[in-house]
Structure 1
Amino acid sequence: MTAPTPLPASAPPGHPVPRRRTGLSGLVRRLSATVAIGVLFAAGGLATDAAPAAAAATPAPTATAVDPQLVAASLGGGVVSPGDSLAISLGLTAGSAPLPASQATVAIGTEPLSTRAEVGNWLTSPRSERAPTIVGTASLDPAAAGERASAIVRVLASDPVLTDRAPGVYPVLASVTVAGRTLQSASVFVVPTGAAADVAVIVPITAPPTGRGLLSAEVLASLTAEDGALTAALTGVQGTDAIIAIDPAIVAAIRVLGTTAPATARDWLARFEALPNDRFALQFGDADPSAQVAAGVVPPLAPTSLAAYIDPAGLSGNDPEPTPTGSTAPSESDTDDESRLPTLDELLDVGATTDIWWPDAVTADVVAALGTGGALTLTDTTAVATSSPAAHARAGDAGLLVADADVSAALSAAAASPDALDRAASLAEASALETLPLTGTTTVVALQRDPTRTAVALRAAIDGARTLPGAQPRGLSALIGSEPSEVSIADEPLATARVEAVPALLSGEQRIESFASVIAEPSLLTGGERAEILQLLSLGWAGQDDAWEEALDTHAAATQATLSSVAILPPSPIQLVAADAEIPVGIKNDLPYPVTVTLHAHSDDLRLEVTESIDVEIGPQQSTRASLPVKARVGSGTVEVDLSLTSPTGVPIGDDQSLEVNVRADWETIGLVILSVLAAAFLAIGAVRTVRRIRRRPEAEGPEAEGPETDDAQAATDADSTAAEEQS
């Protein structure tokens, strides 16, 4: 549906390349090599009595083109109502060589361009005979290499070439001769009919593509800074009637951080929420719903959880307010939600009232699938086979919003251009195309995704959509409330690479989903994986094939790292010399969450009995040693023990390992037997020696036993004899 165009010189590296649809007038000459004209010409009508402006040389950044280039643009959106003058701005940009002073000529046609095909042909391949009336000349000052000489040619309202001119789109041709060659640039101006179609402008607000599930605080600070892309988008939309199509991942990235989000991001979110504009949500990450449907994913994917990104510290301010003095304290039932963390719906809420899909390209099957459940699909006139479809249409049972591809492309070019002159040329083209409407009484303008546009350019594009007198803004409810017309879908080629990437991403997600059962809250892993997948399917990657492939490779490596974050550490051989022992088994957990696993062991060798399984809990980003009970039987030798892990739900975790155990437990039994025998022998020898000593003792000690008794008797006899003698 879209074709890439050169990246503007001011676009920073890594930002998406603006794309333009190839409608009838899509091939408009655009000198994107020249940027930042020194003087910003007024977008409105100029004074009717002003004399032709003197040429003025204004410096411009160095042009990348080698040859000089001429740009002409009708100012004021190219609309010349009765009583207005026609102002045509000219810019001659020198290439690699400086340019001398020159004279430019401006001519206009007398016959209107009656179809969009004629407008497109004129802007891409002008023919001098279509603009025969010279209306003015201008002197262009010399310009150094890469600089631009500018001038304005004005045709007064009283000039006969403008008075009584019939409504229509008229050609404008500017010519200048430099270095022996004639340069030409075509533009158009419109004499309005006064019966312009109403206009609904849809502005997408997206961030540069990322492989992360949500934008980081650092990226948010950059995007919401005073000169940030998101700030420019919000400033450009603020105060207009544009319909906003926003990526909900942007607001979610700010909300999950709460008060810890950058101050500029919080201010941006408050400004966005205060806008009165109609709005709808793009798919999370601005993912391409067509690629998912084409890959068989119906309905398209949606976020499952953003809990992994929530910063509880930043959301502590969500606690209930303090109870005023004298009032009754809140009951436990009033404060049972201690954390008061936001739900997924609260994080993603953008204030939308209608479900609308906005794919890059569609087929009839895609539209039918996306229309299930009453959702609308936003597409454009290149995808509709019916001529002149209504802005609100229906293909079978599927509702559609049909944007005008040609007008959208012209205004998208204006919004993407940092150069005022190029922007004026695109605005004039858009007015011409709106004068030749395709979608009845309402024109829907869908600006292309571009996070690099400036606030000034975006506002000019939004306002330029209603340049035609009589055009009124249309809101989303008015569009949807109108009676739809029946249309048929012209199948467009889908982004093949994106379609082919979906199965591989979903395969990794299924493995993560199984693996996540090791933690108490699996959504902490599965939610982040789903968010990253949607970001990788973002339409913002268009035109950045190399960066996208690198992001896919990085994601695949990160998925594999997660799957291997919990595993058995390679074991070393174990020497087992005891009959009963506990073998240490190392298990790692690289996740930032605690895990619970079951360690399984198996051995077919009868020499070793192994406990079949044990449950192990491991703290976040830690390793532990699980003790595996084993029992050795009679025999020795090397035994292989197979080790594996499963989650509590039985899902295999990590790679299996094999543990080598050298069993020498029979030496313990033999040692005990020898020690027992020796102890028994020593006891027996001691007993024998004791018995033998006792048996020998009476024979050796008999005389000694009688000696004391004889001596005592003899002493008694002697005592008695002495006593008798004394008495006598």
Structure 2
Amino acid sequence: MSLRVLSVALAFGIGLVGIGVGAPRAAAVDPAAPVQVAIAVPIIVPESAGGLISADALTQYTSPLGTLTRQLDSIEGRPVVLGIDPRIIVSIRILGTAAPASASAWLARLEAAPNESFPLTYADSDITLASQAGSTVVLQPTGFDFAIDPALFTAPLTTIPPTPTGTPTPTAAATPTAPVVPPLPSSQDLESWQYSLTGIAWPVESTVTASDLPIISSSGFSTMILSSANLDRTPGSGAVADVTGTRSLVADATASASFRSAVQSFTVADWQANTAAMSSAISTAGQDQSGSTATVVITLDRNALDSGNRLADTITAVQGNPRVRIVGFTELLGVDASPATVIDQPHSPDQLALMRQLLEAQTAEAQFAAIAEDPLAITSARRLDLLALQSSGWRSNPAGWPVIVTSDLVVSTELRSAVQVASTGDFNFLAAAAPLPIAVANNLDQPVTVYVTVRPDTGLLTVGDTRIELEIEPNSQASAMIPAQAVSNGVVGVTVSLSSASGVPIGESSRARINVQAGWETPIVIVIASLVVAVFGGGLVRNILRLRKAAAAKGSGA
């Protein structure tokens, strides 16, 4: 242990002695018993707009000075509880043979870590932001099949070396090494991890309202981590609470704030002062408790670690103090829970307004995707993007979040405009009955099936079948032939629209003008028929006259 860590640990222990000899407490806590402290640390990456982390970003994050490397270096060998963002695991695994070597090595290190762990929501998404904006469930990924490239899970081709010329120098035969190629994974394989704890929801600090609780519980979470500042508790309560029927680990707001300040301290002096403040906060929290054992939960904030952080030293200072016993969540959850209620602390109206737009766009995308051959290829990708936009990390970038949300809403609009009625314009209808050709463009990379409807404004034109099914290949156009019949001459406006099998409108409707010339061919046919009759009639008359003339000539000759 370094001298600075030892000196702070000693000061830390002196501060904690106050638990036994300090101010009077609500009830007797065993003064000889150390304070049980659980520390939760998130394993996360900086906020980004992508549902999957790129190979370049993973290379940066897992480099020797990268944020993921710093996080793992700081917690390795230290008994803290890890909340792991599944997006990191999925993003590395889905790259298969193209995964950066540093990222694969980092993942192996994480897997070997003995720490208790639990999964964060995907992309460390802000649970309550969605629920307060109208979502009735905690949003989760719907699959990753759309992004799995089989080529990344196939052994590379073996290169045959050229035959050497001349007399070769004898060398020992090399033993061929087969390439390590992971098997083709399923979506479940990509997310699978040996977590020691599951069913834990960790909302962003001080953002929970009472209406969020049933949504979180019904989404499969049995335990929550809540800030003490977000709860109304009875005096003497420990770190485990029963919040309207949901078991919750209560993070002490004061101790956590001091812990974070110590981690982010720039100078040694600042770090010593902040660590002493943490010691005092833990001491005070222990004094206030009425149980037989004092329990305190400390959480690190949800921002990726910067370079120069002092997380390892701060954990070591706590760990090395004889007046503290660091425990895991498993042990802490065995402690009796005290009743508590939520003090509503909702997100800001501006944040909720933007989140509602994202949720509405996601609903519209799901309706649109129903026309595609593989709807999940569209909706799964967009769900990951939505979760990334919900990432807790965006709270540290309040100016950037509205910008990226607006950009995503534009992407959503463009997606839902990828299948449209092609430009119709004006055209002539020059038959009593004939099909109307309506062209539809599909700019998606998969086939779609839509239903084409044509509605005339007036009775000059009638349409036989109001919904014509049309299949369109990827990145192409196809025409639906709409049966129509002219009733009278004139110009009629029509509205052309598309819909899904369930009748949901697809894209924007289109307008066209049709010049109807009902029965224009009838007088022409009459004229042609008259000409034919005249020609054949004239020929017949000529034949009759010729025959009569021949007969008369024969009679006069006789």
Shorter-chain TM-score bucket reads 0.7 to 0.9
Residue 418 (structure 2) pairs with residue 596 (structure 1): no
Matches of 1:464 and 1:582 in 2, distance apart? 82
Deviations, residues 115-164 of structure 1 (Å, cap 9, x unaligned) = 89xxxxxxxxxxxxxxxxxxxxxxxxxxxxxxxxxxxxxxxxxxxxxxxx
Residue 301 (structure 2) pairs with residue 343 (structure 1): no
Larger Rg: 1
Partner residue in 2 for 1:376? 223
Closer, same or farther: CA 290–112 of 1 in aligned 2, 3 Å: closer
| Structure 2 residues without counterparts, runs of 5 or longer | 23-30, 156-182
Q: 2:2 is matched with which residue: 41, 44, 66?
A: 44
Residue 417 (structure 2) pairs with residue 459 (structure 1): no
Question: What amino acid maps onto 1:395 in structure 2?
Answer: V
Question: What amino acid maps onto 2:341 in structure 1?
Answer: I
Partner residue in 1 for 2:162? none
Closer, same or farther: CA 474–365 of 1 in aligned 2, 3 Å: same
Number of aligned residue pairs = 513
Matches of 2:72 and 2:115 in 1, distance apart? 11
Matches of 2:34 and 2:298 in 1, distance apart? 14
Determine if contact 1:78/1:428 at 8 Å carries over to the other structure. Answer: yes
What TM-score, normalized by structure 1, do the two folds share?
0.64
CA RMSD after TM alignment = 3.4
Question: What amino acid maps onto 2:141 in structure 1?
Answer: P
**How far apart are 1:518 and its partner, in Å?**
0.6
Highest relative contact order (Cα 8 Å, sep 6+), 1 or 2?
Answer: 2
**How far apart are 1:365 and its partner, in Å?**
4.8
Matches of 2:15 and 2:81 in 1, distance apart? 33
**How far apart are 1:601 and its partner, in Å?**
1.7
Which region of structure 1 is more displaced relative to structure 2, 598-607 or 345-354? 345-354
Residue 84 (structure 2) pairs with residue 246 (structure 1): yes
Residue 287 (structure 2) pairs with residue 357 (structure 1): no
**How far apart are 1:167 and its partner, in Å?**
9.2
Question: What amino acid maps onto 1:391 in structure 2?
Answer: A
What TM-score, normalized by structure 2, do the two folds share?
0.82
**How far apart are 1:278 and its partner, in Å?**
0.7
Partner residue in 1 for 2:252? 404
Deviations, residues 499-549 of structure 1 (Å, cap 9, x unaligned) = 444433222222122111111232222223333333222221113222011
Matches of 2:421 and 2:243 in 1, distance apart? 56
Which of the pair is proportionally richer in helix? Answer: 2
Partner residue in 2 for 1:78? 8
Partner residue in 2 for 1:272? 110
Matches of 1:298 and 1:610 in 2, distance apart? 43
Q: How does 1:297-308 map to 2 (within 5 A)?
A: 297-308=135-146
Q: 2:341 is matched with which residue: 465, 489, 492?
A: 489
Matches of 2:355 and 2:551 in 1, distance apart? 107
Matches of 1:564 and 1:595 in 2, distance apart? 13
Question: What amino acid maps onto 2:451 in structure 1?
Answer: T
Deviations, residues 80-125 of structure 1 (Å, cap 9, x unaligned) = 489x9xxxxxxxxxxxxxxxxxxxxxxxxxx989989xxxxxxxxx
Q: 1:583 is matched with which residue: 424, 428, 436?
A: 436
Determine if contact 1:585/1:628 at 8 Å carries over to the other structure. Answer: yes
**How far apart are 1:241 and its partner, in Å?**
1.6
Determine if contact 2:374/2:446 at 8 Å carries over to the other structure. Answer: no
Partner residue in 2 for 1:88? none
Which region of structure 1 is more displaced relative to structure 2, 573-582 or 404-413? 573-582
Closer, same or farther: CA 437–468 of 1 in aligned 2, 3 Å: farther
Matches of 1:112 and 1:671 in 2, distance apart? 109
**How far apart are 1:305 and its partner, in Å?**
2.8
Q: How does 1:286-685 map to 2 (within 5 A)?
A: 286-295=124-133, 297-316=135-154, 341-344=185-188, 346-347=190-191, 349=193, 351-359=195-203, 360-361=205-206, 362-367=208-213, 370-371=216-217, 375-384=222-231, 385-417=233-265, 419-438=267-286, 440-454=293-307, 457-481=310-334, 483-489=335-341, 491=343, 493-496=345-348, 497-603=350-456, 605-612=458-465, 613-633=467-487, 635-685=488-538
Matches of 1:394 and 1:576 in 2, distance apart? 74
Determine if contact 2:72/2:110 at 8 Å carries over to the other structure. Answer: yes
| % same residue | 29
Matches of 1:167 and 1:609 in 2, distance apart? 94
**How far apart are 1:202 and its partner, in Å?**
1.0
Which region of structure 1 is more displaced relative to structure 2, 341-350 or 400-409? 341-350
Partner residue in 2 for 1:256? 94
Question: What amino acid maps onto 1:354 in structure 2?
Answer: T
Determine if contact 1:251/1:350 at 8 Å carries over to the other structure. Answer: no
| Structure 1 residues without counterparts, runs of 5 or longer | 1-42, 46-73, 85-110, 117-165, 169-192, 318-338, 707-728
**How far apart are 1:600 and its partner, in Å?**
1.3
Determine if contact 2:210/2:344 at 8 Å carries over to the other structure. Answer: no
Deviations, residues 543-595 of structure 1 (Å, cap 9, x unaligned) = 32220111221122122222222111231111233445443322122222221
- SS of residue matched to 2:37: strand
Matches of 1:417 and 1:81 in 2, distance apart? 17
Question: What amino acid maps onto 1:290 in structure 2?
Answer: T
Closer, same or farther: CA 574–450 of 1 in aligned 2, 3 Å: same
